[in-house]
Amino acid sequence: MGANYLFSLEPTFTQGLVLGQLSVIVLLGFILKYIFLDSTHDPFETSSYQAHTNHDFTLRAQKSDIQEVETGSKCDGHESVEWFNILLRQATQIVDVYRSKLRDDLTGPEGNEIARKRIEDYANKIRPAGFLDHIRIHSIDLGVSAPKLHDAHVTSDASPKALTDIHFETTYTDTLSISLSTSYLFNYPMTSFARLPVSLTISLSQFKSLVTISPPPPDSPAPVLTFSISPNFTLDLTTTSLMGSRAKLANVPKLHELIQHQVRRILAARGTWQVVLPGLATLSAVQEQAKKSFHDV
């Protein structure tokens, strides 16, 4: 009788406690699955939210920052690099060339759609398929400005073969933004058991960093010019978000912190670029030298 006490036909306190706990668990499961999570086959069926950014405010902030940069560069005694800013922005228009090529040299909605599709394809190529559903890019803004350089100065060691590094302060404020939606996949207790829809708009508020240009050593077998950003750069992102299916959570602070941390991590890891000097080295020689240096470390 003791072994069958839990399953006896007469109501007992233990039976009531067990049934009460099970009912609470089932109720919580239904709330999560049908209110916050999305169990439909189309992850975007209930995620029509597309946040927008205030580009007018960003442009006003950009003009203010540019004025501060121009004023500060005249007062601190460092070399002015306004000539290089003009060269970068107007003569060569390097940033505008990248924007144009991303649009296949097309303007208007047609060019924007090509750029949107390219970014969407790349995002889905690198996404962790086991955790994130298909990423849909709703809109992008490639910006209208370029980084501003100021306060150029030179540093070198006292040794006879010292290399001279050139440092710039750079400030970038633009309307750069991306709006997307996806779903976080719950694969327990079965594959694609439920989805948590997430809609995001990420926009750049400001980027500041020290940029260093380092020449190659005289005895380098594959001389390259190295550009690097300081690991202590300033990155301010504006993030608007909605999480959930029917009941939505707006602008979760932890999500903003996670996105900002990941963007900072990627920039810090890829914040060094090497330019092969024409006539002195080839790309294959530089790659071989990089592999050798990596193995030596």
The partner residues of 18 in beta bridges, in order of sequence, read none
Q: In terms of pLDDT, which residue wins out, 209 or 222? A: 209
Q: What confidence category does residue 7 fall into, taking pLDDT thresholds of 50, 70 and 90?
A: low
Q: Does the pLDDT value for residue 281 go beyond 50?
A: yes
Q: What element of type H or E holds 59?
A: helix 55-75
Q: Tens digit of pLDDT for each residue in 55-71?
A: 454 444 445 554 444 44
pLDDT at 207 over 90: yes
For residue 258, give the 3-state DSSP assignment: helix
Q: How far apart are CA 120 and CA 181, in angstroms?
A: 11
Query: With pLDDT > 90 as the criterion, what percentage of the chain qualifies?
Result: 22
- pLDDT higher than threshold 80 for residue 271: yes
Residues 6+ apart with CB under 8 A from 19: none
Amino acid 71: pLDDT: 45
**pLDDT tens track for 224-268:** 888 999 989 999 999 999 988 776 788 888 889 999 999 999 999
Give yes or no for a contact between 286 and 274, defined as CB atoms under 8 angstroms apart: yes
Mean pLDDT of 123-138: 90
**pLDDT at residue 155 in the model:** 80
Q: How confident is the model at residue 175 (pLDDT cuts 50, 70, 90)?
A: confident
Which has the minimum average pLDDT: 25-34, 43-52, 84-93, 186-195?
A: 43-52
pTM reported for the whole predicted model: 0.67
pLDDT higher than threshold 90 for residue 138: yes
pLDDT at 297 over 90: no
- Give all strands (DSSP E) within the chain, no chain letters: 136-141, 148-155, 165-172, 177-186, 194-214, 224-229, 234-243, 249-250, 272-276
* Average pLDDT of the residues of the chain: 75
Q: What is the CA radius of gyration of the chain?
A: 27
Nearest C-alpha neighbor of 194 from the set 28, 38, 41: 38
d(CA 224, CA 112): 35
Tell me the pLDDT band of 166, cut-offs 50, 70 and 90: confident
